[in-house]
Amino acid sequence: MRAKISSGTALFCLVLCIAAATRPAAGQVLDADRIRVGLRTDTLEEDGFIDRVLAMVSQGRLPVDLVESTFLWARKQPRHRFQYFRRGLILRAGQIGVSADEFDPNADSAPRSADPRIQTFTDLRHRIEDGVTLFFTPLRRVISNIMNPP
């Protein structure tokens, strides 16, 4: 006697087969292109961060499951997926003893400006404050003269 298979059962089996075929295997999630698409990276800096993370994984400095689970969590966020990934990964890596400086390619060099006269961020802040003072001091005098006529 032949067994009959209903169309619902056949459809269910087909869906299970498709789901199994399209599901990424273990370790396949950490493909650089898949991460870039999943996190919707826009800049070269973001792509470089992903490359550094994958290099750290291949060197054994970061566990695969930590990066993979952080990626899967960040991918579910409605906006700013890459920022969630970067922040979450740096925080979680810090918990296992990986320094945040290891993710930064320029961590060993001091921050530099394109202007050779500005060597640090403190110098830059002072120059901005000086510019703001130069701009607003005459404006304050004008407002003071309007509010308190002589």
pLDDT tens-digit series, residues 72-123: 999 999 999 999 999 999 999 999 998 888 887 765 444 444 555 545 556 6
Above 50 in pLDDT, residue 20?
no
Q: Does some domain include residue 16? A: no
Q: Is 34 exposed, middle or buried (0-12, 13-18, 19+ CB in 10 A)?
A: middle
Q: In whole angstroms, what is the distance from residue 124 CA to residue 130 CA?
A: 10
- pLDDT: is 83 or 148 the higher one? 83
> What pLDDT, on the 0 to 100 scale, is given for residue 124?
57
Length of the chain: 150
Question: What does the CA dihedral 38, 39, 40, 42 come to, rounded to 10 degrees?
Answer: -140
Residues 30 and 99 in one domain: yes
Average pLDDT score over residue span 27-55: 87
- Check whether residue 118 and residue 97 sit in a common domain: no
Q: How confident is the model at residue 64 (pLDDT cuts 50, 70, 90)?
A: very high
Q: What is the pLDDT of residue 126?
A: 61
Same domain, 91 and 123: no
Q: Which residue has the higher pLDDT, 14 or 63?
A: 63
> What residue numbers bound the domain in which 70 lies?
26-103
Answer whether residue 127 shows pLDDT above 80.
no
In a domain, 2, yes or no: no
Dist CA 95 CA 69 (whole Å): 15
- pLDDT class for 42, splitting at 50, 70, 90? confident
Whether 20 maps to a domain, the answer reads: no
Query: Is residue 143 very low, low, confident or very high in pLDDT (cuts 50, 70, 90)?
Result: confident
Check whether residue 87 and residue 124 sit in a common domain.
no
Residue 45 CA to residue 57 CA, distance in Å, equals: 18
Please give the pLDDT value at position 100. Answer: 83
The number of folded domains in the chain is 2
Distance CA 136, CA 22 (A): 61
